[in-house]
Structure formats: structure tokens, C-alpha cells
């Protein structure tokens, strides 16, 4: 079995290339640092009717998991977990802040007096 | 500075858990082992220590408490340690001062000041929460403790860690005043200045707490840490002759102290240590950082985060972790929230100092200033009795009063000049 596997790429250079490419892709995905962030999101009233989380999921390749939500006509509060490549999660958080959503870790006031 | 990152703690619950039963989610009620963890895995709600009150009731009585040394550990069954405390064994039992002169100035029948400005060892109520957090950290096998702070908490963690021989990391904003930095460095703590704004410091600390095997007192140790505040409430009740005060005014940063004083009144009532009576707990904030009192006055159940801008730095938390629960306590007990400006804070500090000889930090000025407002408006009736919780010493925030308390009268060393000074018009003297 090992011999057959090792020999296979040598049969055709053309056939071997995609295999190597795929391997490289997998390797990149595996080594890319992953992260999961637990966050409180607060929406100002003007964003309450906008599908902000859906928009975020369309822009960034991350998963979200909503754990708590409270929406009134004055404020929207959402507790969720974002998971994905670190750079994508950070980019999503930056985007959320840019559109006016306040983002805090679930720990909230880690910095005390 | 040590380069070791992990202290190899057990992180597990010890087999002996004292009078604690579990950690319990304040939202959904799910229970967790008594480890270094702080949020529910299901709804990310905060965890709180649950106790075996039936066992405590069989063990704890007024007589038992009175036989013990006068420190916060005389109520140890109601504090989250499995065995004997190992850190901060002399903390607490600060004076409850009957403040008659201040009562007359504020126009209330009876007033008391719970004076944690003289708490041991670092002159703030933080020594209570820190000694509990570090004692529990030792029980869980931690060798390194940490916190993120702008002052009192950093000083207390550094001092108490030093006394217990624990490695200590303190994270502070890089531009913090020199005095506050020295108050942590002197104890041999590793002090890390973070170049970033509040949000970034907050995020970094949450990440460090998640990644390293350290006891972060107000992050992964928060359920234990917060319970230490109850001791202030236990002492108030005992010092008032085993009664619950009608009104208690508490300053709010995260809002945790207010909720825990309420819990202390509930626990003593439940255990029959005091006669269950009605009580009201009022919250005090600085106008420059008043997310909780603004929500309370608007009749809201939630707060909107704010960017702090006040001289009361020790209360400057724009996103208070226990804000929601503090609002709930005020609502349940019929208490009120109010806030005071920087000038009113200074006036409150001076009033307390001149009437009672107690020099409180800016948070104390907030408490006195708000009490004055609540009494004047009738929200605390003039014929009632109230306790003001003073949480820190004025020597920590001298800069807030500089230029606002008058000046010295300098003379040459002879009697003639002194008598000339005495004979000056009194108004002139006061203006000087």
C-alpha cells in the first residue's frame, strides 16, 4: 500500500500537481491559527432592524453561535461566539465596530479599579 | 521578571469543598464544578458560588462568630474557601462609625459610615475580594496570580500575593500615574503597562486569562473574588447589633459590591442571624461614568455602555459586568440610583473629612454626594437610618483634591506674626 501511494505521483507529473496543491491547501488550513471569541454585542436603535449578523457571515468565512439575545426598540443585546481563522474573526469584529455595533468580551470589565 | 508562563495548577475542584456546593449560572441555573471558571458554557451567563445553607445553619451562629478573631474570616462558612484561609487573614472588620455630625449636615436622623478606607493591608475594600480570590487560588493549586487594574485592585493583588509568596502579574494602562505604579511595584509584582485604549486592555486580559494557567482574580476567579464583598455586609449587620440597615448607599463600578451587600443581607436573614426586615440599597456613580444610575433613573433593565470621564477613576467602568444585576437589586429593594459631578464629589470628600475625620478617595465622595441628594429629595427619608459604604482611602487620590482645599498660611517663626495672622479678618482667612 505504501509503495503504491508513493509511486502514484511519479506516473504523471500533470496528475501529481493538483495533489500537491491540495496538500498545500490542507496544510495551510491546518496551520492557520484558529480562534473562538465569546462576545457581547450591543446595537444602537438605528441598527436593530438591520440583519447585521447575516451581513457579517456573508463577508467573512466564520461561524457564529448565538447564546443569548434581547432586543427592544431601544437597544439590541446579543451574546455570541465567533469561530474561525484568527484574522477573519478579528476582521469581522473590526467590521462590526465600523458599522456601529459595540463589541465587548463576555468578561466585560476585566480592567478594574 | 519570570519567564515561566504556566504555574501548573490543578485547575480542578478539590475533593473537600467546605460549605460550597457548586458554581451556578446566574442566568440558567446550570451547575459547574468548583474550578477556576467564570461563565456558563451554554449561555455565557456569569457563574456564582452556591452554598449548602442547611449545613451552614447547623454550624454558624452569633455565638460562634463572636468567639472568632475580628477579621472578615469570622464568617468563613459563607465565603468561598474549602479550608482555612491562607491569604489575607487579617483583612476586614473595619470600623462602623456612627456619624452624628455628618448626619446633622445631611439632615438625617441616624447615619453610619462603614470605613474601608482603613482596611488592611492596602487601605481599600479590594483587600476583601483579593484575599478570598487568592486563598481559593492557592487551594486550586495556582502559583501565579494576575489582574488588570487602574489602581486599588493592582495594589491589593500585589501586596497580598507578596505576603503569600505567589508570583504576580499586574496589567495596567501604560500611562497610569507614577504613584499608583509604585504602589504595585514596591511589592515585587511584575507590572506590565499596556499601550492601548480600554477596549484593547480588556480584550488582552480576557485572552491571557483564557490562554495561561494563571489565576486572573477578576476573570477566571471572579465567582470567588466577588463573594469577598459580602464580608462588608456581614460586618455592617453584626456591628449594628445584628440588624439590617434600612438604607445602604453603595458606590458602583462594576456593580458587584452592591449586589453582594444585598446577598449578605439575604444570607444572614436566611440563616436566622438577623431578624428579616425590609431594606433598600441605593447605588451611587459619578456623572462622568454613570451607565447604571442613568438606566435606573430611566426605568430601564439594561444599561448603555459609556466612555468614562470623571475624577472618580476607581469607578470608571463604562461596561459594568454586574450592571444588570445591580439594577435588579435596586428595583427589588426599592432603592434608587443617582450620580454626582466632579465638584460634588470633591464636596462629598470634604464634607466627610470635616465632619468625621475620615479622608475617603473619590469613590467615597461619590457615595456621600449621592446620599446627600437622596436625603434632600426624600428618597431616603429624613427620619430614617442609613449606612454609607466608604471603599478606599483619600491618600490614594490626593491629586483630585489638590488646589481645592485651601492653602497653608506661612509665617516667620515669631509670635508677633502668628498673632497678626490670628487677628486677620476671619473671612480673609477662610478665603486664603
Could you give the angle at the alpha carbon of B140 between the alpha carbons of B138 and B142, nearest 5°?
60
Same domain assignment for residues A91 and A69:
yes
Whether residue B189 contacts residue B147, with contact meaning beta carbons closer than 8 Å, is answered with no
Query: CB of B27 within 8 Å of any CB in chain A?
Result: yes
Please provide the DSSP assignment of B232-250 as one string.
HHHHHHHHTTS---SEEEE
Closest residue, chain B, to A97 (C-alpha): B199
Q: Which residues of A touch B199 (CB under 8 A)?
A: 104
What is the spatial distance between Cα A58 and Cα A100, in angstroms, rounded to a whole number?
18
* Cβ count within 10 A of residue B207: 15
Same domain assignment for residues A38 and A27:
no
What is the spatial distance between Cα A109 and Cα A33, in angstroms, rounded to a whole number?
26
Window 86-145 of B: residues touching A by CB (8 A cutoff) are none
Residues of chain B under the 50 pLDDT cut: 1-14
What is the spatial distance between Cα B143 and Cα B177, in angstroms, rounded to a whole number?
29
The number of distinct structural domains making up chain A is 2
Q: Closest partner residue to A110 among B151, B218, B316, by Cβ?
A: B218
* Domain at A44, CATH number: 3.30.70.260
Q: Give yes or no for a cis peptide into B121 (omega within 30° of 0).
A: yes
Query: CB of B148 within 8 Å of any CB in chain A?
Result: yes
Whether residue B229 contacts residue B252, with contact meaning beta carbons closer than 8 Å, is answered with no
What is the spatial distance between Cα A77 and Cα A94, in angstroms, rounded to a whole number?
18
Asked if the model's pLDDT at residue A83 lies above 60, the reply is yes
Same domain assignment for residues A17 and A41:
no
| Structure ipTM | 0.70
Same domain assignment for residues A65 and A99:
yes
Q: Could you read off the pLDDT of A26-54 as tens digits, one per residue?
A: 444 556 788 888 999 988 888 888 899 99
Q: Which residues of B touch A96 (CB under 8 A)?
A: none
* Contact yes or no for A112 and B42 at CB 8 A: no
Q: Which residues of A touch B304 (CB under 8 A)?
A: 42, 75
Q: What does the pLDDT read at residue A49?
A: 87
Q: Which residues of A touch B198 (CB under 8 A)?
A: 111
Q: Closest partner residue to B304 among A75, A109, A113, by Cβ?
A: A75
Whether residue B306 contacts residue B318, with contact meaning beta carbons closer than 8 Å, is answered with yes
Same domain assignment for residues A97 and A63:
yes
Q: Closest partner residue to B254 among A38, A81, A109, by Cβ?
A: A109
Closest residue, chain A, to B302 (C-alpha): A75
Q: Which residue has the cell 515669631?
A: B414
Which H helix or E strand runs over B190? strand B190-194
Same domain assignment for residues A69 and A99:
yes
Instruction: Please give, rounded to a whole number of angstroms, the shortest distance from the CA of B345 to a CA of chain A.
Output: 17
* Contact yes or no for A110 and B317 at CB 8 A: no
Assigned domain for A113 exists: no
Q: Closest partner residue to A67 among B43, B151, B209, by Cβ?
A: B43
Same domain assignment for residues A17 and A38:
no
Same domain assignment for residues A45 and A22:
no
Q: What does the pLDDT read at residue B427?
A: 53
Q: What does the pLDDT read at residue A32?
A: 73
Assigned domain for A112 exists: no
What is the spatial distance between Cα B125 and Cα B226, in angstroms, rounded to a whole number?
11
User: In sequence order, what are the residues at sequence separation of 6 or more whose Cβ sits closer than 8 angstroms to the Cβ of residue B351?
Assistant: B102, B105, B368, B372
Same domain assignment for residues A83 and A62:
yes
* Contact yes or no for A113 and B148 at CB 8 A: no
Assigned domain for A17 exists: yes
**Pairs of residues, one from chain A and one from chain B, whose beta carbons lie less than 8 Å apart:** 92
Phi and psi at B138, nearest 5°, equal -65, -45
Q: Could you read off the pLDDT of B388-403 as tens digits, one per residue?
A: 999 999 998 899 999 9
* Contact yes or no for A104 and B316 at CB 8 A: no
A6 pLDDT band, cuts 50/70/90, is: very low
Helices (H), B214-322: 222-227, 230-239, 256-270, 291-297
Instruction: Please give, rounded to a whole number of angstroms, the shortest distance from the CA of B162 to a CA of chain A.
Output: 20
Q: What does the pLDDT read at residue B75?
A: 98
Q: Which residues of B touch A108 (CB under 8 A)?
A: 202, 254, 319-321
Whether residue B283 contacts residue B252, with contact meaning beta carbons closer than 8 Å, is answered with yes
Q: Which residues of A touch B313 (CB under 8 A)?
A: 113
Same domain assignment for residues A46 and A64:
yes
The residue among B114, B115, B304, B318 whose CA lies nearest residue B201 is: B318
* Contact yes or no for A113 and B253 at CB 8 A: yes
Rounded to 10 degrees, what is the CA torsion of B302, B305, B309, B311? Answer: 50
Q: Which residues of A touch B254 (CB under 8 A)?
A: 108-109, 112
Q: Closest partner residue to B305 among A70, A102, A107, by Cβ?
A: A102
Assigned domain for A16 exists: yes
What is the spatial distance between Cα A49 and Cα A52, in angstroms, rounded to a whole number?
9
Assigned domain for A110 exists: no
Instruction: Please give, rounded to a whole number of angstroms, the shortest distance from the CA of A13 to a CA of chain B.
Output: 45
What structural domains and CATH numbers belong to chain B? Answer: 20-84+126-225 (3.40.50.1100), 96-122+229-401 (3.40.50.1100)
Query: CB of B286 within 8 Å of any CB in chain A?
Result: no
Same domain assignment for residues A47 and A76:
yes
Assigned domain for A111 exists: no
Q: What does the pLDDT read at residue A110?
A: 74
Query: CB of B373 within 8 Å of any CB in chain A?
Result: no
Which H helix or E strand runs over B194? strand B190-194
Instruction: Please give, rounded to a whole number of angstroms, the shortest distance from the CA of B153 to a CA of chain A.
Output: 6
Give, as one character, the DSSP assignment of residue B394.
G
Q: Which residues of B touch A74 (CB under 8 A)?
A: 300
Same domain assignment for residues A55 and A90:
yes
Sheet (strand A34-43) strand order: A63-71, A76-85, A34-43, A102-105
Which domain does A7 fall in, by range? 2-31
Amino acid at each position: 500500500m505504501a509503495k503504491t501511494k508513493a509511486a502514484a505521483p511519479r506516473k504523471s507529473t500533470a496528475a501529481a500537481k493538483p495533489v500537491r496543491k491540495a496538500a498545500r491547501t490542507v496544510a495551510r488550513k491546518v496551520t492557520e491559527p484558529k480562534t473562538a471569541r465569546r462576545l457581547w454585542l450591543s446595537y444602537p436603535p438605528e441598527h436593530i432592524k438591520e440583519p447585521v449578523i447575516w451581513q457579517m457571515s456573508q463577508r467573512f468565512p466564520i461561524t457564529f453561535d448565538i447564546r443569548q439575545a434581547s432586543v427592544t426598540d431601544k437597544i439590541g443585546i446579543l451574546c455570541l461566539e465567533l469561530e474561525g481563522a484568527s484574522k477573519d474573526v478579528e476582521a469581522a469584529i473590526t467590521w462590526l465596530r465600523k458599522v456601529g455595533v459595540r463589541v465587548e468580551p463576555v468578561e466585560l470589565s476585566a480592567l478594574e479599579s | 521578571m519570570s519567564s515561566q508562563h504556566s504555574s501548573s495548577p490543578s485547575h480542578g475542584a478539590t475533593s473537600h469543598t467546605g460549605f460550597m456546593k457548586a458554581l451556578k449560572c446566574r442566568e440558567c441555573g446550570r451547575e459547574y464544578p468548583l474550578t477556576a471558571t467564570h461563565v456558563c458554557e451554554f449561555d455565557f451567563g456569569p457563574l456564582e458560588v452556591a452554598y449548602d445553607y442547611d449545613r451552614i445553619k447547623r454550624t454558624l451562629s452569633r455565638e460562634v462568630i463572636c468567639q472568632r478573631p475580628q477579621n472578615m474570616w469570622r464568617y468563613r462558612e459563607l465565603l468561598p474557601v474549602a479550608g482555612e484561609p491562607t491569604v489575607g487573614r487579617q483583612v476586614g472588620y473595619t470600623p462602623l462609625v456612627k456619624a452624628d455630625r455628618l448626619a446633622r449636615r445631611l439632615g438625617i436622623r441616624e447615619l453610619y459610615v462603614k470605613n474601608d478606607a482603613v482596611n488592611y493591608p492596602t487601605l481599600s475594600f479590594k483587600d476583601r475580594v483579593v484575599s478570598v480570590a487568592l486563598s481559593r487560588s492557592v487551594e486550586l493549586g495556582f502559583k501565579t496570580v494576575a489582574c488588570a487594574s487602574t489602581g486599588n485592585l493592582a495594589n491589593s493583588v500585589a501586596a497580598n500575593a507578596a505576603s503569600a509568596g505567589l508570583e504576580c502579574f499586574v496589567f495596567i494602562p501604560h500611562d497610569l500615574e507614577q504613584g499608583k505604579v509604585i504602589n504595585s511595584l514596591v511589592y515585587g509584582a511584575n507590572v506590565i503597562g499596556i499601550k492601548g485604549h480600554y477596549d484593547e486592555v480588556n480584550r488582552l486580559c480576557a485572552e491571557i486569562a483564557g490562554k495561561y494557567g494563571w489565576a486572573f482574580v477578576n476573570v477566571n476567579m471572579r465567582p470567588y473574588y466577588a463573594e469577598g464583598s459580602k464580608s462588608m455586609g456581614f460586618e455592617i449587620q453584626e456591628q449594628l447589633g445584628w440588624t439590617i440597615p434600612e438604607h445602604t448607599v453603595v458606590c458602583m463600578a462594576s456593580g458587584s459590591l452592591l449586589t453582594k451587600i444585598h446577598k449578605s443581607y439575604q444570607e444572614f436573614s436566611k440563616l436566622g442571624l438577623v431578624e428579616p426586615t425590609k431594606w433598600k440599597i441605593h447605588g451611587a456613580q459619578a456623572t462622568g461614568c454613570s451607565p447604571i444610575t442613568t438606566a435606573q433613573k430611566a426605568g430601564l433593565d439594561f444599561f448603555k455602555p459609556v466612555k468614562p470621564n470623571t475624577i472618580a477613576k476607581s469607578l470608571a467602568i463604562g461596561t459594568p459586568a454586574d450592571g444588570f444585576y445591580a439594577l435588579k437589586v435596586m428595583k427589588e429593594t426599592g432603592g434608587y440610583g443617582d450620580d454626582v459631578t466632579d465638584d460634588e464629589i470633591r464636596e462629598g470628600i470634604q464634607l466627610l473629612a470635616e465632619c468625621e475625620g475620615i479622608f475617603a478617595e473619590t469613590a467615597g465622595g461619590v457615595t456621600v454626594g449621592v446620599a446627600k441628594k437622596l436625603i434632600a429629595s426624600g428618597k431616603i427619608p429624613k427620619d430614617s437610618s442609613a449606612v454609607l459604604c466608604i471603599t478606599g482611602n483619600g491618600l490614594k487620590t490626593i491629586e483630585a483634591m489638590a488646589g481645592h482645599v485651601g492653602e497653608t498660611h506661612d509665617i516667620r517663626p515669631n509670635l508677633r506674626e502668628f498673632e497678626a495672622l490670628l487677628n486677620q479678618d476671619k473671612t480673609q482667612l477662610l478665603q486664603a
